[in-house]
A and B are shown apart, each in its own frame.
Chain A
Amino acid sequence: MKKHDRLHRLSVKLWLFLAAFLVFAFFSNDFGLVDIQKTAVILAAGIDKGEDGYTLTAHIAVPKGSDRSKGGTSSVNIKGRGDTISACISDIYADTGWVPKLVFCDLLLLGEEAVQENSFLVLDYFLRNEQMPDSCQIAVCEGSAEEMLSSASAIDDTSALAIEKLLSDAAEKTGQLTRTTLREFSIGYYGVSESGKMPYLGSKTQSGAESAQGGAQAQDASGGAQSGDEKIYEVRGSALFSQGRMVALLSPDETFAYSLLQGEVRSGTFLAHENGEAVTLYVYKNKGSVSLSLGDVPEAALEVVLRVRVADRDGATDVSDLTSSIPSDALLQDATAVITQAISSLWARIGESECDLFQLRQQLFRHHRGEYELWRERLLSVARPNISVTIRPVE
């Protein structure tokens, strides 16, 4: 009996040992140990297309050493060239001996040339890459991505971090940009709408800027500190895509109208007029929807409902005027006209570009399957918009 008990206890111990060993082997991730001297932790990647193939600019985080007097993040930009994105990555490895690691890459920046033809020639590699997070932000930039990523930010340690702040969740709520992740863009591209959007970024020189907070440490591939003017990055609208190709650029007003229709604006502002005086209205609450219905011809109901208050006027108000933040009926009428105009302009842009920004083909496919083939090709050109804008004051 004692022998049996001993064997049983041994059996349980062996069982626990094996289970622990299995868990250890499966989930240890080699303890996440990364030889930083041999690994390039890519924070952002810029892709440009030229006559001789692709150029991938990897924005790589590097250790700052033991000097604790300097905070912040250091980075270096390494360029790889090749006929495919994979070849560019291999080129970086061959040139530097660093193993590029995409698992922390939060931004893919496409240069203008890269989106003149199917941008999925570029993005496909990242979507298929198991290590690449498909939740990373993607954007198009004016000029080349290499130039933008290599420029020195006036407000942050590195250009990539400054751009990522620009594309933050909070920024999206202002309605001035529409963020897109790799997953969302891919779903749009492979879906029946074959359309998508990305923020369109530009930069402007910040004259007389001091060095960035924490001591900007971005360097080019040769190791030298970057020279030249420091930049401030800005969103200049939204790039529209059809079948992976950039087909139009929405203005900031049209981008704002799109955000309102998505119901995503929570703290945005827009300009209206009252008695010739400019007034900034603050959006407290926003509901928006776009729905397709089929009659003789397809009709798209574009509906926006807003709650606003006056944020600022181009003129001083009396200190005793406690109702100055409540918009008047005349101001609300003008605001309604402004938003309606922006939505009309947005609709016209979509019709011209054949970018199914509102996923109307998807709605047609999902809810009107029988008539999908009939309307699929010409839906965007024949659909009539029915715009409804309701703006109420916050009292």
Chain B
Amino acid sequence: MKTVSARQLCFFLAFIAPVGKLILMPSQIVFDAKQDLLFSAALSYLLQSVIVFLVLLAAKKDKTLFALLRERLGTVGARVALSLLALFLFLAALLPMLEQKLLVQSVFYDTLPSILAFAPFFLFSAYLCFHPIAHLGRMWDILMPFSAVGFAGLIALSAGAADFGALLPVGASGMGAIARGTLHSLSWFFDSALLLPLLGRIEQTKRLPLKGTLCYLAGGGAVLLVLAVFYGVFSDIALRQLFAFSRISKYFPGVAVLGRIDYFFIFALTLVMAFYCAMPLHAGVECLKQAFGDTPVRAGGYTLAVNGVMFTLSVLLNYHFLRTQTFMTHTAAWIFPLFPALLVFVLLIGRKHEKA
């Protein structure tokens, strides 16, 4: 069976996972935590990194998610749990997908483009979903340089325009505001859930859980750096700046002479984001494949159904983005750390089912 190597997994955790946090999450956190946004984001990262560590511990058992769940919950229970995980992943995909759609329409088009400008994403996503999930490893290999160059370029162009004094005074927003910032950012943290369908397909090396978690925290460090620059550039108007990463670099003095050279880096990160947005759908389809069979016909059926539904939702929610965002970041936020944590606890400490 094709597996994801430890190197590829670390690339995902350090370079691919962070890009999903760069569009609307910064302004969402600023809304609550203001200049203490780094604390809110760091708490979210720490919470998620604990779950990532536990998932990688579970991966040491070297069994698929379905096999592990069947041992604990029986066949029916495992199918129910996998179906719930698939639903969770489809829910998790919604906000990144809609924010990416807004990003493309607002940043890359001078006028409002037709809805078809984003439609190819679903063709792309469907193609990805149809393939076995272990193919992600090769994809992460290819995406890593795009992400690394994108991050480095954006920081290099924007750090000079940032007033890092804007992050002072430390802690002035209060613990309540920092906690709210953390809570309302949780819907962007579902990376541990993306790893769950990969169980049994991850190449095991020495201390992989620790190395993987450290890579995830390193990626978090890069996100915190972008957040610091973002608040340094926009200060008290940061909460109005949607699409944070695409805005911070345009004040580089060279832009006035050379034009928007920062678009090279923005394009690179947006490309990585497109793959990242499709990953929850891919992982969700993999859950369905494990639970209900993965014949080509069934795999094609899940793929078409999932992407068809998501495309329909993207059209239907076109004029309800704020309501959707509020639902995801306020009402449903608690689900994002809780559900994967619950599942991984079942895998690690759940008692074996009698019929297993």
A residues in contact (CB < 8 Å) with B: 14-15, 18-19, 21-27, 29-30, 32, 34, 99, 101, 103, 127-128, 130-131, 133, 135, 183, 186-187, 190-192, 365-367, 369
Cβ contact within 8 Å between A23 and B240: no
Partner of B267, one of A24, A27, A30: A27
Cβ contact within 8 Å between A103 and B240: no
**Contacts A34-B110, A366-B169 known; A26 to B117 CB distance under 8 Å?**
yes
B141 CB to closest chain A CB (Å) equals 14
Cβ contact within 8 Å between B108 and A26: yes
Chain A residues whose C-beta falls within 8 Å of the C-beta of B117 in the assembled complex: 25-26
Cβ contact within 8 Å between A26 and B234: no
**Contacts A25-B119, A26-B108, A27-B267 known; A18 to B127 CB distance under 8 Å?**
yes
Cβ contact within 8 Å between A183 and B234: yes
Cβ contact within 8 Å between B110 and A27: no
**Contacts A25-B117, A187-B234 known; A369 to B169 CB distance under 8 Å?**
yes
Cβ contact within 8 Å between A25 and B110: no
**Contacts A127-B237, A367-B168 known; A22 to B124 CB distance under 8 Å?**
yes
Chain B residues whose C-beta falls within 8 Å of the C-beta of A187 in the assembled complex: 234-237
Cβ contact within 8 Å between B251 and A26: no
Cβ contact within 8 Å between B110 and A32: yes
B residues in contact (CB < 8 Å) with A: 104, 106, 108-111, 113, 116-121, 123-124, 127, 165, 168-169, 172, 234-237, 240, 250-251, 267, 270-271, 274
- A-B pairs with the 9 shortest C-beta distances? A366-B168, A190-B236, A369-B169, A191-B236, A25-B120, A18-B124, A187-B235, A22-B124, A186-B237
Partner of B110, one of A22, A24, A131: A131
Cβ contact within 8 Å between B271 and A23: yes
Bound CA span A186–B234, Å: 9
B278 CB to closest chain A CB (Å) equals 10
Bound CA span A32–B240, Å: 26
Bound CA span A367–B267, Å: 38
Cβ contact within 8 Å between A26 and B237: no
Cβ contact within 8 Å between B120 and A365: no
20 further interface pairs, Cβ-Cβ under 8 Å (given A21-B120, A131-B110, A187-B236): A15-B127, A18-B120, A18-B124, A18-B127, A22-B274, A25-B119, A25-B120, A25-B121, A26-B108, A27-B267, A27-B270, A29-B108, A103-B110, A135-B251, A183-B251, A190-B237, A365-B169, A365-B172, A366-B165, A369-B169
Partner of A25, one of B118, B169, B235: B118
What are 12 A-B residue pairs whose CB atoms fall within 8 Å in the complex?
Answer: A18-B120, A18-B123, A19-B124, A25-B116, A26-B117, A27-B108, A27-B270, A30-B111, A130-B106, A183-B234, A365-B169, A365-B172
Bound CA span A128–B168, Å: 26
A28 CB to closest chain B CB (Å) equals 8
Bound CA span A367–B250, Å: 29
Bound CA span A190–B120, Å: 40
Chain A residues whose C-beta falls within 8 Å of the C-beta of B237 in the assembled complex: 127, 183, 186-187, 190
Label chain A's interface by main secondary structure: helix
Partner of B240, one of A30, A127, A192: A127
Chain A residues whose C-beta falls within 8 Å of the C-beta of B127 in the assembled complex: 14-15, 18
Cβ contact within 8 Å between A191 and B235: yes
Cβ contact within 8 Å between A101 and B110: yes
Cβ contact within 8 Å between A30 and B271: no
Bound CA span A130–B104, Å: 12
In the complex formed, the residue of A with least CB distance to B263 is A27
Bound CA span A22–B271, Å: 9
B274 CB to closest chain A CB (Å) equals 6
A356 CB to closest chain B CB (Å) equals 13
Bound CA span A103–B169, Å: 36
B132 CB to closest chain A CB (Å) equals 12
Bound CA span A183–B240, Å: 11
Bound CA span A350–B118, Å: 52
In the complex formed, the residue of B with least CB distance to A133 is B250
A257 CB to closest chain B CB (Å) equals 23
In the complex formed, the residue of A with least CB distance to B166 is A366
A156 CB to closest chain B CB (Å) equals 19
A47 CB to closest chain B CB (Å) equals 20
Bound CA span A127–B116, Å: 28
Chain B residues whose C-beta falls within 8 Å of the C-beta of A25 in the assembled complex: 116-121
**Contacts A135-B250, A186-B237 known; A26 to B168 CB distance under 8 Å?**
no
B57 CB to closest chain A CB (Å) equals 33
**Contacts A18-B120, A26-B117 known; A369 to B172 CB distance under 8 Å?**
yes
Chain B residues whose C-beta falls within 8 Å of the C-beta of A127 in the assembled complex: 237, 240
Partner of B104, one of A26, A131, A183, A190: A26
Cβ contact within 8 Å between B121 and A22: yes
Cβ contact within 8 Å between B120 and A22: yes
Cβ contact within 8 Å between A26 and B274: yes
Chain B residues whose C-beta falls within 8 Å of the C-beta of A130 in the assembled complex: 106
Bound CA span A131–B168, Å: 31
Bound CA span A366–B235, Å: 12
Q: Which of B104, B118, B120, B234 has the most CB of A within 10 A?
A: B120
Chain B residues whose C-beta falls within 8 Å of the C-beta of A27 in the assembled complex: 108, 267, 270
Chain A residues whose C-beta falls within 8 Å of the C-beta of B124 in the assembled complex: 18-19, 21-22
Bound CA span A130–B111, Å: 10
A342 CB to closest chain B CB (Å) equals 26
Bound CA span A15–B135, Å: 12
Chain A residues whose C-beta falls within 8 Å of the C-beta of B168 in the assembled complex: 366-367
B97 CB to closest chain A CB (Å) equals 13
A196 CB to closest chain B CB (Å) equals 12
Bound CA span A187–B237, Å: 6
Bound CA span A190–B271, Å: 34
Cβ contact within 8 Å between B240 and A128: yes
**Contacts A365-B169, A367-B168, A369-B169 known; A26 to B123 CB distance under 8 Å?**
no
Bound CA span A379–B259, Å: 42
Bound CA span A19–B125, Å: 10
